[in-house]
Amino acid sequence: DTRLTVLGIETSCDETAAAVVRGPLDKNILSNVIRSQIDEHTEFGGVVPEIAARAHIEILDRIVAEALQKSKCSWDDIDAVAATAGPGLIGGVIVGFMTAKAIAMAAGKPLVGVNHLEGHALTARLTDDLDFPFLLLLVSGGHSQFLLVRGVGDYERLGTTIDDAIGEAFDKTAKLLGLPYPGGPHVEKMAKKGDVTRFRLPRPLLDRPGLDMSFAGLKTALRTQAKKLEPVDDQTVADLCAAFQRAVADVLAARTKSALDLFRERYPDTAPAIVVAGGVAANQEIRASLLSAANDAEARFIAPPMALCTDNAAMIAWAGIERLLQGPVDDMKLPPRPRWPL
């Protein structure tokens, strides 16, 4: 029986999370507990690393206990502990990973230090029937990249943002238009009321080949337009949000098309699939653009449920399972890392 039950811990940004996942047969999320720190950070207009680290320390033990209790597992049922070892805000990563080391040592379980990005990359294999290789578009507050996922531990970054991450661009745009943090959902809400034809924003880098993207220029162009019209009324804010969101969606759709072309060149005999993950994947217009780009290319489009697209510990537990299936793992000596490219 190759079934494993793994406790996962995630603390690399502003969610404190623990989960118990069983698999790979009868894949099952036995518990998935998340506590967001948004309230602690809102007044500062963004995540404050020191506050985040302290908030993780304060509740991680309770979150882990709750995850175990909800899973109806005892420590005897747990085969291993998996925790994010990076990349992320180092204070939080240290809290989660050192806690995991302590638990693993005390309970006599193997420890898996998971790369947070690998967690996002493998999530779709927990939620869907999906074989390697496949494409991943990761769009969050900290990352915007196309990854070719060839296997567990075997990733190739095909393209990335050369400046701001998309979520970051949404957040900065919201800030300069006077909308609250985190900006993404507010920009989307305003955009619904906006006239997308009123402002014309650039489509950065699309005149160049490859899969890299750029979003900082978009935000600057928007600021320039807004400055000319000060004081900006609500309708103008809505129109600017609509133009911004459409520009981002267009860039992503165009790059998705190129990514699928590249996939076809490399794997002419494999049906292409593209998975989207990260907080920005909550955006309906962006989702619709990606879906239609995938449909045009006759590719499968997979968007895991929102709670598993954003930061969570089930994806870390699952990545732990996938790693353990490759062979024994002992990451006791692995250091927590702020930077850790896949």
Give residues in contact with ligand KG4 (CB under 6 A): 13, 140-142, 167-168, 170-171, 182-185, 188, 278-280, 282-283, 310-311
295 is in an annotated binding site: no
Say if CB 139 and CB 316 are below 8 A apart.
no
283 is in an annotated binding site: yes
Question: Pick from ligand KG4, Zn ion, none: which does 336 bind, CB < 5 to 8 A by kind?
Answer: none
Question: Pick from Zn ion, ligand KG4, none: which does 171 bind, CB < 5 to 8 A by kind?
Answer: ligand KG4
- To Zn ion, the closest distance from the beta carbon of 76 in angstroms equals 31
**Distance between alpha carbon 312 and the CA centroid of its chain, in Å?**
9
40 is in an annotated binding site: no
Question: Pick from ligand KG4, Zn ion, none: which does 290 bind, CB < 5 to 8 A by kind?
Answer: none
Which one, 110 or 278, has the nearer CB to ligand KG4?
Answer: 278
Question: Pick from Zn ion, ligand KG4, none: which does 317 bind, CB < 5 to 8 A by kind?
Answer: none
DSSP collapsed to 3 states, 289-312: HHHHHHHHCCCEEECCCHHHHCCC
68 is in an annotated binding site: no
- Per-residue contact track with Zn ion, 290 to 319, x per CB under 5 A? ---------------------x--------
Question: Pick from Zn ion, ligand KG4, none: which does 279 bind, CB < 5 to 8 A by kind?
Answer: ligand KG4
Closest C-alpha to 240, from 179, 166, 290, 288: 179
1 is in an annotated binding site: no
Closest C-alpha to 62, from 94, 22, 18, 6: 18
Task: Identify the bridge partners of residue 9 per DSSP, sorted by sequence position.
Answer: 18, 83
Which one, 275 or 297, has the nearer CB to Zn ion?
Answer: 275
CA distances from 75 to 7, 79, 269, 315 (A): 10, 8, 44, 20
- Which residues have C-beta within 8 Å of that of residue 54, sequence separation ≥ 6? 91
120 is in an annotated binding site: yes
Alpha-carbon dihedral sign for residues 54, 55, 59, 61? negative
Q: Binding of Zn ion at residue 331 (CB under 5 A)?
A: no
What tokens appear for 237 in the block?
């804010």
Residues belonging to the binding site are 116, 120, 138-142, 171, 184, 188, 283, 311
